[in-house]
Every structure is written in C-alpha cells, then in structure tokens.
C-alpha cells in the first residue's frame, strides 16, 4: 500500500485512514486563534482547545497548572479497545509559541 507514493504497512495505512483532513484543519485553526504566546499569558487558551479536542474524541484530558497561566495538558486513551495489549506511547509537545512578529 502507499500514500503519496510512500509505501506503508497495513497497520500504518489503517492509522492514516483515520485522519480526517477537515478535522485537522479545524483543530489547527482553533489552536492558531487561541494564540498561546509565551510570554503573553494566553497559554491557557491553547490548553483549553487541546482538552476540548481530546474530550470530543473520547479521550480523558486534564490540565495541571505548573505556574500561573501555564498549564500542562495530559491526555489518556482509555484502557481497552484495539490497543489494549499494545505498547504505550508518550507524545510530548509544546503548546506555547514565541510572540508573533512582523511578516
């Protein structure tokens, strides 16, 4: 199988088939609109977007404020289902961005 000319396994293709481009664009727009600049005090807005997106997809989301206006978001996939016996996965990213500038 392939996607955009890249060969992938049946398992990889199954994951790719789950990606909804419209949902991905909507989430990206929501994150851009939330700003999330550091410094700037808007990181909480970004955290709320991520929590809502996770909850809407049946995931367990919670935030932990590590300093005023700077929450970490933890998201868990419920135990059971198709990945019950699979290995764990940790995805770590930053939700804050540098201040917007000209151009």
pLDDT, one tens digit per residue, over 1-24 is 455 677 888 888 888 888 899 999
| Proportion of the chain in helix, strand, coil states, percent, rounded to 5 | 35, 20, 45
| Whether 61 contacts 78, CB under 8 Å | no
pLDDT of residue 60: 87
Residues 36-80: pLDDT tens digits? 887 777 789 999 999 999 999 888 899 999 888 888 999 887 766
With a CB cutoff of 8 Å and minimum separation 6, the contacts of 93 are none
pTM of the model: 0.74
């Amino acid at each position: 199988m392939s996607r955009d000319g890249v060969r992938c396994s049946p398992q990889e293709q199954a994951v790719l088939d789950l990606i909804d481009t419209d949902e991905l664009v909507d989430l990206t727009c929501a994150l851009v609109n939330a700003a999330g600049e550091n410094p700037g005090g808007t990181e909480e807005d970004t955290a709320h977007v991520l929590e809502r997106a996770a909850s809407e997809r049946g995931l367990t989301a919670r935030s932990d404020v590590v300093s005023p206006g700077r929450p970490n978001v933890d998201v868990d996939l419920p135990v059971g289902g198709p990945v019950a016996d699979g290995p764990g996965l940790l995805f770590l990213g930053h939700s804050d961005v540098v201040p917007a500038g000209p151009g």
